[in-house]
Each structure stands twice: as structure tokens, then as C-alpha cells.
Structure 1
Amino acid sequence: MKWLFNSPIAHRGLHTKNVCENSLNAFAQAIEHSYGIELDVQLTQDGKVVVFHDLNTFRLTNKDLEVDKTEYAELKILSLGNNQEHIPLLKEVLDLVQGKVPLLIELKVFEYNGELEKAVSKLLDKYHGEYAVCSFNHQSLKWFKNHSPQIPRGLLFGEERKKVSLRDFFNFIYYFDATKPNFISLNKSLLKSKIVRFCTMIKMPIIIWTVNSAQEQKKALKKANAVIFEGFMPSN
């Protein structure tokens, strides 16, 4: 799984003011600069795996639709940001990337039922490239552990905070034990936490998100194996 740590990972693709996040253009830009790609997936009402972060489409399209309650045909006609790009299917992204850079696929699981995991695993079975999945939802990761253990899986944990409470740490240990992840993906605010010390002790690879400057990248890589970045162009 060393490929995952060979280059910085572009958060939702290499997006800018004029290039929307999680768009085919953002992913093409990341490929052009040889960055890994982090992206978000969820299911539409008709079972299509779309690449989109939010539960609701309003922030990026000015249309108020719940992704999981809308069929893909209705989502596809929406424009992302101020351009004519559409909400892509994961299949479209896989066809675009074609193994040129590694993919880190975050499963946005709002109500777990195993269907998203099953659909993503089916698509990845036919994909020839380097990839891993990750999620905040431990049930989602347990699905991959039990049904597709060959797919590298990462436990996402953390939010913006100054320190981790003892309860937070025990929650992390519980999720860690339940999912048996291949790597951990942590919020950058947790760099000095006991979670990082624990992962370092057991030699568990760590990815830090989301770094916004070269200075933050340098700081993160003193303790982590890779970074997910946004808002600047890091060195490979």
C-alpha cells in the first residue's frame, strides 16, 4: 500500500475558484500534476454511485435536492459551480483516471445499509489502478473487512479541536478494533494527540487532512506518512 503515500493527495481533486470540487475537471487537473485524488461517493435514489460530498446539492448547484432521494437523471442536469460540469458518476471518474494516480475514496454514509459499499466494491473489482476506501462510519469499514478485505481501508477520525478527550480516544480504539483498518486518516488538529502516538507505536500509517500550506505540510509529515491538501500546490 506504499503507493498511497508516494505523493500529496488533492482534497476533492485539484479545485480552484474556477474549477469545482469533485468535478471531472478537478480530477483531470490533479492527474496533470501527478497528485493523488481524494473524492467522496454516495448513492442516488436509483442506486447510482455519484461523486459528491454534501447530502444536499444546494451549496454547489443552487438547487435544493437530497442526493439519496433524487434519481441520477435529475442530478446529472445540474451545473456544478459557475460552469457546465455535471455531478459525475464514480464510473466516469475511474474511466478518466485509468490508474494514472492513486485514488482515496471516502464513502459518505448517512444511513448505513451496505448498499453503497456493495456498489463501490463492484465498480472497483473491474478497475485496474491503485485505490483505497475510507469512511467515518465504522459499519461501512466493517463491510469491507468482511466482504472485500483485499481493498485497503482507512478509518477517518477527528474534527477541529484543541485536544482529544479520554472518551474520544476510547471511541477511536473501539472503531479501530472493530474495523481493523490498513491506515488512519486524521484531522490535522490531532497531530499532537495520543491517537497519533498510538498509531506511531504500532506502525500504523497516518494520513493528515486537510493541510492548506507548505508549512502545514512540512509539520504534518514529521508525524504522518501523507497529507490531503487544498488551496495550494505542494511539492511531490
Structure 2
Amino acid sequence: MASHALSVLHVLPSASQSCNNSSRRSLSIPLILKSDSLVSCFIGNKVSDRSSNLRYHTLKQRRSTVATVLFSLPTTKPERAASGKAPKWSARAIKSFAMAELEARKLKYPNTGTEALVMGILVEGTSLAAKALRKSGVTLFKVREETVKLLGKSDMYFFSPEHPPLTEPAQRALDWAVEEKLKSGEEDGEITTAHLLLGIWSEKESAGHKIMAELGFDDDKAKGLAKSMNKDIVLNSK
């Protein structure tokens, strides 16, 4: 085939039947090809280096999903956040929240609940709160298992939204963490995963609290975590 200018080939759903699984995952992304080095299972020519561009754009899309929660978390008092007087969330807490949304989507739940927040903390894994959970015997696998037992499985044909909205208990847990930080009177420091976990624990009727209690977390361990908050702030500031 003679070489000429670049063309854009949009992969249509009807053609996906002849492609392998990796091709199907890229259906929504335009494939930029040279006519003399087409990258396609439809034509059978050699794979071009331009396939690396496709991987780059796919990765860029994934990164943009997480970027929406890089600086703050949902609040019922947006005016406080807008004024700049609200304390900031730590990077670990924000990552834990992003992982919580992902866990909710994996289970195909319509909302991000307190149980998902616990899973998010465990997925992030490096915070004082995550270490306290593991020390108490609360692991990611066990929380997932208990979540399905308590809340059940979602319809296999249901697809969660990109950012499953918070349940009311989960939002109250986040607000509790903010308020607790404000009560401390500390001008410096951040709202950490320890604040977040204790916020979940404060919601006695929530799924997250029930699952943590079932797996061995209790009030004494919550008090121990509360005393260690300052250490968590130091770790997050490094």
C-alpha cells in the first residue's frame, strides 16, 4: 500500500468481533496510523511504534480520573472550603478516597459507602490508620468479603458511575474528620487517614463500623489511634 498522509481510523463496534481483548479495550480511542504501517488486526500488517502513543493516551485518561480528587474531598460546607479556612486533606487521605471510589466500582455499587472508605484506606496501605487496621486483623480481603455478606452483590449488568456519590454515613464521616481537626485548634497540619477512619468509626450504624467491629476493631483501638494522630501528621509532612 502506497505511503501517504496520516489518517484517523475509528474502530467500530461491529469490527470488534474479530479483534483480541486488548483491541476491545481501546474501542473509544482514535487510532492514528500511517497507511504504510497500519496497526490493526483487521489488516494484519506489522505493529507500528505509534501503538505506544495509544498506550500513552490511555494512561493519560486514567490519570485525569484521579486528578479530580487531588486537592479536596466532598463536603457539606463548600463555603468553608471556598474561604480557604478549612484544613487541607493529606495526600494519603485523598488517595484513600480515590481508591474507595474504585473499590465501590469494582463491587458495582451505586455509591461510595463507609465500607468502601475502609477498603480505600487499606488499598493505600501506608498510613497509620491502615497499619492500625491490619494490626487489628482488618485486611482488604476480609473487608471485601464482609461487605458482600452485609450488603449483597450488585446486579451483574449494573455499571457504577465513574465517581459513585457518597452515602449519607460516608459524607458524615468525612465531615466528622474535618470538624475534629478544627476542634484540635492546630493551625498547621492536615486532615489525615486517622481522622477519616475515626470518622467512619463514629458512624455506629454504618456498614464500615459494623464490618470493622466484626473483624476485631474496637473502642480501645480507636482511642489508641486517636492518640497517634500527631505522629500521622508528621509522617504526612515528610
| TM, length-normalised to structure 2 | 0.22
Larger radius of gyration: 2
Higher strand share: 1
What TM-score do you get using the length of structure 1 for normalisation? 0.23
